[in-house]
Amino acid sequence: MLGCGSAMKLRAVLVENEPLSLSRLRRLLQGFAQDIEIVGEATDGPSAVETIRAQSPDILFLDIDLPGFDGFHVLKQLERQPVVIFTTAFNQHALKAFETHAVDYLLKPIEADAIDKSLTKLRAMGFNQTNVSRALEQLLDSVNPRYLTRLQCREGDRTVLLKIGEILYFQADHKYTSVHTLNREFLIDTSLIDLEHKLDPKEFLRIHRSTLVNISWIAAIQRSDDGKNAVLLKDAKSTELPVSRMYMDKLRNL
C-alpha cells in the first residue's frame, strides 16, 4: 500500500494494444484498489494521447506496441509525462524504455507480484509520505527532468545517444541543426529555439542567432582589432565561434 486512506490513490490510465490485455491489467489492478484508481483506458496510440491529455493521470501503464503509433511516440506527444510503467511482450525494448525515464518495465504475461514490486519501487521513491501530491511532484521531476540530459542523433541506420555534456556547441544549418562533439558532427531536425528551451541555461548559452555553446567548453573570450568578439573552445583545434553584440552581456556575466 502506497499511502493511508482513499485520498492517497493514484489516478491511472491504462493503455494496452488488445482488449484482452486491457481486461487482464484492469483485473490485476483491482487487487490494488487501495492505491490505484483507474480513470481512463485506451487501445491505440492516438486515443492514448487523447485520454492522457484529458485525464492528466498520476501514473500511466503503457503498452509499447500499439496500433496507430507506439508507446514511445505517445510520450513524445505529451506536454507533461506522468509516471510511466511500460508493459510489453518483448524485452528488446527495455533500454529504450528506461531512456524515457520510465519507473518500471513489465513483461507480459503480467502477474500481480510484478505490479506489487513496481508499486514498492514507487513507495521507495517517495509515495510513503502523507502528502502524495508533493511526492508525485518530486517523482515526476526525477523521472521527467526539466532539461535534456541526452540527445538522440541519427547516423545511417542507427541512433547515437549523446550525453549533453559531450556536446561542444549547436549551430543552425539551413533546415537542420549541426551538433558538434570533440570528434564528430551530427545533423538533427530540432531548431535552435527548441533546443534553447530544452537545455539547462546554466549549461548552454546562446552567443549568436545561429549558435548555442556549452559553457563548460568555453576557454576564453577574444576581441579582435576590428571590435568583433568570439569565444575560443577548449578542444584541440581551439574552435573559434563568433559572438553577436546582443549576447555579449550574458557572456560577460558568466
**What domains are defined for the chain?**
6-143 (3.40.50.2300), 156-252 (2.40.50.1020)
Detail the DSSP E strand segments found in the chain: 10-15, 36-42, 59-63, 83-88, 104-107, 150-155, 158-163, 169-173, 176-180, 185-188, 204-208, 211-214, 218-223, 229-233, 240-243
CA distances to 121, 198, 210 from 174, in Å: 46, 20, 10
Predicted local confidence at residue 101, as pLDDT: 64
Predicted local confidence at residue 5, as pLDDT: 39
Predicted local confidence at residue 108, as pLDDT: 87
Prediction pTM value: 0.52
> In 182-210, which positions are buried (b, 16+ CB within 10 angstroms) versus exposed (e)?
eeeebebeeebeebeeebeeebbbbbbeb
Predicted local confidence at residue 42, as pLDDT: 97
CA neighbor of 21 nearest in space, from 66, 58, 53: 66
Predicted local confidence at residue 131, as pLDDT: 43
Predicted local confidence at residue 7, as pLDDT: 46
Cross-strand partners of 86? 62, 105
pLDDT < 70 regions, the chain: 1-8, 91-101, 125-146
Predicted local confidence at residue 126, as pLDDT: 63
- Strand pairing of 104-107 and 150-155? unpaired
- Strand pairing of 229-233 and 218-223? antiparallel
Predicted local confidence at residue 231, as pLDDT: 95
Per-residue pLDDT tens for 14-51?
A: 999 999 999 999 999 999 999 899 999 999 999 999 99
